């Protein structure tokens, strides 16, 4: 790699990266943001870098780059053929990645605009869009009584929020951040979940009316809506820590319903067999994940499934 603007170092403000590449650069500070925090690091902005192919061919002029002393922070962060195939944006070029990397202690952050090049918040990783679609269908079917019944302002606001939040999540994943959505691993056929739940709702319900059937359908569907997410985790073989926290919160929400059922049965002598059975099924689906969460994530480890 060479700099088209010459081979003069950066003088008094030179960085290790610019010296190693023998290029000119303007010292800047980068604000790097992650989900857990942010930090400011020293860097240099360089222009007109040209990549000269090792085995011949046309040169490639890079866009504006930002240098860092170490990118990636660890060699294990560099994608290899096997790991690249797991990411939708790298899969098309996985076979082009070299089997072995030469020793390197420098790196470049390439992007026309660095704040846009480093935006981990905009990357969707480990979350199943199909599960989010099922949750959206669940809440729409369950809360259609908004059009006919009014209980309270809180009740109405809660239902609207559930539907709006679910719809926004689906939109962000499948449209705004579509390029970062890992559709290669999110492959469970949701129609195989929706159809049986719809059929069961027609057969087993409290009252054969449209709203009651839709409510029953939503209860059945919610109990299995997490399956695409769990299938995605099993297919990738691991789950990021933040994804694990999300799944644990989602499972805990349903598990807490058990306490509500006990309370209502003890004080009101009321129980709903359909909701109880569906809730137990959903909680059972989480049991294996709960075990891994307690034994791994709470000890600061990432969930990695055995091969």
pLDDT at 154: 92
Q: pLDDT value at position 40?
A: 65
- Whole-model pTM: value is 0.60
Percent of all residues in the chain with a pLDDT value above 70, rounded to a whole number: 65
Residue 66 confidence (pLDDT): 67
What pLDDT, in 10s, does the model give residues 51-78? 766 556 677 777 677 665 444 445 556 6
Q: Which residue has the higher pLDDT, 296 or 125?
A: 296
Mean pLDDT for the stretch of residues 136-164: 93
pLDDT tens, 185-210?
A: 898 999 999 999 999 999 999 999 99
1-19 pLDDT per residue, tens: 333 333 322 223 335 566 6
Higher confidence at residue 109 or residue 83? 83
Mark out the alpha helices in the chain (DSSP H runs).
16-21, 81-84, 114-117, 129-142, 153-171, 191-203, 210-224, 227-236, 241-268, 273-295
Q: Are 15 and 42 in contact (CB under 8 A)?
A: yes
Residue with tokens 């040209």: 50
Please report the DSSP string for 77-100 in residue order: GS--HHHHTTSTTTGGGGGGS-SS
Helix (H, G, I), strand (E, B) or coil at 245: helix
Q: How far apart are the C-alpha atoms of 242 and 13, rounded to whole Å?
A: 38
């Amino acid at each position: 790699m060479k700099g088209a603007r010459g081979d003069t170092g950066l003088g008094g403000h030179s960085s290790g990266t610019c010296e190693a590449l023998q290029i000119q650069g303007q010292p800047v500070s980068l604000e790097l943001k992650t989900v857990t925090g942010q930090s400011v690091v020293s860097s240099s902005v360089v222009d007109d870098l040209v990549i000269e192919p090792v085995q011949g061919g046309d040169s490639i002029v890079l866009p504006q780059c930002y240098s860092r002393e170490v990118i990636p922070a660890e060699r294990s962060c560099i994608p290899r053929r096997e790991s690249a195939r797991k990411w939708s944006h790298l899969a098309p070029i996985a076979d082009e990645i070299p089997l072995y990397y030469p020793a390197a202690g420098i790196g470049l952050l390439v992007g026309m605009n660095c704040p846009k090049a480093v935006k981990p918040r905009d990357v969707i990783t480990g979350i199943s869009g199909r599960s989010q679609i099922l949750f959206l269908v669940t809440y729409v079917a369950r809360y259609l009584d908004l059009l006919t019944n009014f209980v309270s302002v809180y009740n109405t606001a809660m239902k609207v929020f559930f539907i709006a939040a679910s719809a926004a999540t689906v939109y962000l994943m499948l449209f705004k951040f579509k390029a970062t959505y890992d559709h290669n691993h999110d492959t469970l056929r949701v129609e195989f979940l929706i159809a049986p739940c719809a059929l069961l709702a027609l057969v087993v319900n409290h009252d054969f009316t449209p709203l009651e059937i839709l409510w029953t359908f939503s209860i059945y569907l919610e109990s299995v809506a997490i399956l695409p997410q769990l299938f995605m985790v099993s297919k990738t073989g691991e789950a990021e820590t933040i994804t694990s926290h999300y799944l644990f919160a989602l499972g805990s929400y349903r598990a807490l319903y058990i306490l509500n059922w006990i309370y209502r049965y003890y004080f009101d002598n009321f129980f709903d067999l359909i909701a109880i059975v569906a809730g137990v099924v959903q909680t059972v689906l989480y049991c294996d994940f709960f075990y891994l969460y307690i034994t791994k994530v709470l000890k600061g480890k990432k969930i990695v499934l055995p091969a």
